[in-house]
Amino acid sequence: MSESLGADPVEQPVESPSRWQRIRHALVTPELIYGTIISSAVIAVAEDDDTDLDVFVVTFVTMLVFWAAHVFAVAVANHGKRDGRVIGIGEAFRGGVHHSVGLLYASIIPLLFLVLGSIGVLDEDTAYLVALVVGMVVLGILGWLAFADRGSPWPVRLLGGIGTALFGLVIVAFKALLH
């Protein structure tokens, strides 16, 4: 009776994440998803007479404000004693910066298209529309990756990606309702 039917869970080797999983976990963060939604919403509610430069500045400043607020919130929440260990304000702040960087990453591609529109490389209307669509595409890709990480078959991944991208479409639809 001393023999067990299965291996002791403590003795089972822990499977280390694959390179793909490490990349996916580095990319698909709540902050990146949230940042994509925020930047898409800010771009979507731009006034019709705003230039791409105007939209760029408002989106850039908004994302910086949200990022700073998130860094502050994480730093304050983590400062103090955690699991019997004292976390100083410097360590808490560095953790907040690291944890929140996805908010900034999320706006890079849409902002790039707005810059291209504002300097005349792309037509302003085209650059604006691409900046809006990029948010939906990014959300779709993030949805696909989330389902792929679970080992879902490709049709489920596709539906998950489409469903996630549709959330971006809802933001664009709100713009149409507001204007």
- Residue 9: per-residue pLDDT: 54
- pLDDT mean for each 10 residues of the chain (179 residues): 51 71 80 91 89 96 96 92 87 92 94 97 96 93 88 94 90 73
Query: What 3-state DSSP class applies to 86?
Result: strand
How many Cα atoms are found within 13 Å in the side-chain-facing hemisphere of 10?
A: 0
Q: How far from chain centre, in Å, is Cα 95?
A: 17
- Residue 2: per-residue pLDDT: 47
- Residue 176: per-residue pLDDT: 64
- Residue 48: per-residue pLDDT: 84
The answer to whether the beta carbons of residues 71 and 100 sit under 8 Å apart is yes
- The DSSP letter of residue 79 is S
